[in-house]
Amino acid sequence: MMHSREISVQGYRLHYLEAGSGPVVLLLHGFGRSAEDWRQTGAVLARAGYRALAFDCLGFGRSEKPGDAPYSLELISGLYVEALNQLGVDQCTIVAHSMGGKYALATALIYPQRVNGLLLVDPDGFGEPAPMNRVGKIPPLCWSILWLSGQPPLVRAMMGAAFHNPAEFVTEEFVKVSGDAFLGWDNRRALTAISQCYDATDLTLTGMRARLKELRLPVLLIWGEGDQIFPVSQAHIAASEIPNTRLVIFPHCGHFPQIEKARPLHGLLLGFLAHMP
């Protein structure tokens, strides 16, 4: 079982889920998602003798949602490292999905001594930079888009496109939780600020992508062959740019392998962790 906890880091309240004891695995979620996406994985890790820490990124889930934070790769990676400091963790392996992937890569680049391996699941950062900052600079337009993004018919369509087999995974509860992440004043305020700061969180625009060749740690890259959000062509680009990368492509799988292909992903994860120093 994963336990819900909170911690104050650099004046921001961060929520996280924790389970187990042993070598630490830091779990990072994607855009509009939360640590809940890693609850099943955290339980698997705890049973296998690891300490799982799944954080709600600043601006998401049950973490604080400031509208004036200078959202950036440096800020988010710094928050994670300071949280690890407070929790008595010297080094960890990071497992990250989608948006979380760019924060994992930034953390490994900025704080290389703190990360001993990366498992990236359909990570953001290897396509063309999104024009989110343009939308964020027009708050009424941004709020309208966010409101629409939280409406059940659109959520059902978007999540349906994110899974190879939506009938099995896109339940009414899944639709509600996914939609709620875009509704409410706190969510709209934070997501608008994140959109306004988007350039500072983009691997290419910040120059972080050009630095990937500096990485000196093992990387396992997992991708859903049917991902319609970040097409599988980006997997091959990422594998060519990140040193020491092993690429595994899951057939009959979309953007959420940790949900849609949980068992094989967990097998790969435990095998990967077994070879960590």
Q: Exposure of 125 by Cβ count < 10 A (0-12 exposed, 13-18 middle, 19+ buried)? A: buried
**CA 149 remoteness from chain centre:** 19
Q: How confident is the model at residue 69 (pLDDT cuts 50, 70, 90)?
A: very high
pLDDT value, residue 2:
95
pLDDT value, residue 134:
65
For the stretch 160-191, pLDDT in tens is: 999 999 999 999 999 999 999 999 989 989 99
The side-by-side arrangement of strands in the sheet containing 115-121 is: 3-9, 12-19, 51-55, 24-28, 92-97, 115-121, 219-224, 245-250
Measure Cα distances from 149 to 32, 124, 136, 267 in Å. 10, 19, 15, 34
Measure Cα distances from 146 to 139, 184, 207 in Å. 10, 10, 28
Phi and psi, residue 18, nearest 5°: -135, 140
Q: Provide Rg for the chain, Cα atoms.
A: 17
Instruction: Say if strands 24-28 and 51-55 run parallel, antiparallel, or are unpaired.
Output: parallel
For the stretch 26-62, pLDDT in tens is: 999 999 999 999 999 999 999 999 999 999 999 999 9
In whole angstroms, give the CA distance from residue 88 to residue 110. Answer: 19
CB-based contact 76:103 (threshold 8 Å) = yes
pTM, entire model:
0.96
CB-based contact 45:19 (threshold 8 Å) = yes
Q: Quote the CATH superfamily of domain 3-129+201-274.
A: Alpha/Beta hydrolase fold, catalytic domain (3.40.50.1820)
